[in-house]
Amino acid sequence: MGSASFVRDLRARHRLTQAQLARRAGTTQARVSALERGLVSPGVELLERLVTACGEELVLTTRPLAAWHDDDPDLRARFRALSVDERLAAATAAARQLQSSHSPTS
């Protein structure tokens, strides 16, 4: 999931218009629109404001890669080649996986 779909899904989940979300987060409707269309990438600070405006908490975490080797130039090159959206998508997927692995079972 990229930042555009993250923001769009967040807003839809809370049944807010772009203008309502913008007002709550202290930004403009045009900025929310640009985010949702992928024209701009939000920083963590703006993402946090958007998420908080919806009554949620933005949680970013890290974990070691399964086969991480600092001396692997190919791995470092692949990481540097990721876009901001790809990094956000990877972090979101990791957070979901971590959350599901720590959910209590019934």
Instruction: Write down the pTM of the prediction.
Output: 0.60
What stretches of 3-102 show up as alpha helix (H) in DSSP?
Answer: 3-13, 18-25, 29-36, 44-53, 73-81, 84-101
Q: Could you read off the pLDDT of 55-84 as tens digits, one per residue?
A: 999 998 887 766 555 666 776 677 778 888
Report the pLDDT value the prediction gives residue 106, as an integer from 0 to 100: 41
Q: Which of 49, 51, 36 is nearest to 92 (CA)?
A: 51
Q: Could you read off the pLDDT of 21-43 as tens digits, one per residue?
A: 999 999 999 999 999 999 999 99
Report the pLDDT value the prediction gives residue 6, as an integer from 0 to 100: 93
Task: Indicate the length of the chain as a whole number.
Answer: 106
In contact, 60 and 43? CB cutoff 8 Å: no
CATH of segment(s) 3-101: 1.10.260.40
Q: Environment class of residue 44 by beta-carbon count within 10 Å: exposed (0-12), middle (13-18) or buried (19+)?
A: exposed
Q: Would you state the torsion angle of the CA atoms of residues 14, 10, 94, 44, taken in this order, to the nearest 10 degrees?
A: -120
